[in-house]
Amino acid sequence: MDICILPLITTVIQLIIGTVWEMFFKSYESDFYITMLQIFLTTFLSIGVPAYIYLLKTKKRIFPDIASDVKPNSLLIQAFILGVSGQFAGILVNLPVNAIYLTFKPEIPQNHPDITNLKQLAVGIIAMCVTPAFFEEIFFRGIIFNHFRRFGSSAATVLSAFLFATVHYSALNFAGPFVLGLIFGIITARTHRIIYAIIAHFAVNLVALLLTYSTNFPIFESYANAVMIAAIFISVPIVIHVVNKFRELAEPLPYSEIHPIEETEESTFQTETGDTVKIIQHQPREKMIYLAFQHIFSKPCIYIILAFFIFTAFAEFMF
């Protein structure tokens, strides 16, 4: 199975689920729990199932590499901090596009349903934090990232982040997921395990959910703007510091699925007996972002994904 078709399969399944839901469950769209069920099923069926089928067909042993040999330490806490600060950094990089959007529309659409009690918060954590963090990281860092790792860690990080942001299909929310995807890729490249990216991704979604829930409390509304502005602008130095600290402390764990593209260099020489000996040296090539993008843009499915992204972005601004 071509790796580039996976995001397209995800998109098609999401469209089918969205259409079916619109046809049969339109009258329940204001029901919080029905909305959570839709989010859970969409994530599981469009991301979890294709990822599992791909791993099954290609016999990739990704599941042992989620957290095998990972020991409880400060890196797990740092991953969570990266997720929290990364959420606010994502808000910051989304601001320019959001400002442009506000010249067309009166307000930014809310992505999360209102959460009014602790029961809804608990269900929301499962549907909107745990489920996406687990399945999306297996999909994007476990499969996409590791596929492009043969072009080098930098290329794998950038490409997996690019696809991660693109399949959100929102111009308003492209830059944020792209930056977060870079963070997830960096910590995955350093450790060879996706548990850290799963924790960071969970923290990102958890912050968004708690911000929604906090609007129920008048005391938060009084200081909301000041707190948000402070958090957004201190998030970038925190992310940079924690990423550097993480890379400094993390020890790369054993990993067997990396098959780097190599460049070969041939040389010949003659022995004292007159025999000719040929020596072929294999050197892994790193930092091949251009080659990686050339590879993915040679696939027709990427143009379908980009066309759909452009269409949804246009619809966001115009309708």
pLDDT digits 0-9 by tens, 187-245: 999 998 999 999 999 999 999 999 989 888 877 777 777 888 889 999 999 999 999 99
Mean pLDDT, residues 178-187 taken together: 97
Classify residue 237: in a domain, yes or no. Answer: yes
Comparison of pLDDT for 179 and 272, the residue scoring more? 179
Is 42 a member of any domain? yes
pLDDT at 260 over 80: no
Looking at residue 62, its pLDDT comes to 57
Range of the domain at 141: 7-318
The span from the CA of 204 to the CA of 94, in Å, is 15
Grouping H, G, I as helix, E, B as strand and the rest as coil, residue 51 is helix
If one counts every other C-beta atom within 10 angstroms of the C-beta of residue 130, the result is 17
Average pLDDT, the chain: 88
Strand ranges (E), the chain: 262-270, 276-284
The domain total for the chain is 1
Residue 201 lies inside a defined structural domain of this protein:
yes
Mean local confidence (pLDDT), 286-294 = 78
1 assigned to some structural domain = no
Of 201, 168, 165, 216, nearest to 84 by C-alpha is: 201
Whether this model's pTM surpasses 0.95:
no
151: which DSSP letter? G
